[in-house]
Amino acid sequence: MDIAGSAALVTGAASGLGAATAAALAARGATVYGLDLDKAVAAAGPLPEGVTLLAADVTEEEPVREALARIEADGAELRLAVNCAGIAPSARVLGRKGPHDLDLFRTVLNVNLLGTFNVMRLAAEAIARQEPDENGQRGLVVNTASIAAFEGQVGQIAYAASKAGVAGMTVTAARDLAQFGIRVVTVAPGIVDTPMMAGFSEEIRAGLAASVTFPQRLARPDEYARLVTMIAEHDYLNGETIRMDGALRMAAR
8 A C-beta contact, residue 215 and residue 250: no
CA 125 to chain CA centroid, nearest Å: 18
Helix 157-177 crosses helix 102-109 at what angle (to 10 degrees)?
A: 30
Task: Identify which of 183, 192, 184 has the alpha carbon closest to the alpha carbon of residue 224.
Answer: 192
Task: Identify which of 209, 220, 231 has the alpha carbon closest to the alpha carbon of residue 20.
Answer: 220
- What type of residue is 87? I
Question: Does residue 215 have a cis peptide bond before it, meaning omega lies within 30 degrees of 0?
Answer: yes
- Catalytic residue, chosen from 33, 159, 224, 236, is 159
33 is catalytic: no
From CA 13, how far away is CA 45, in angstroms rounded?
Answer: 12
Catalytic residues: 159
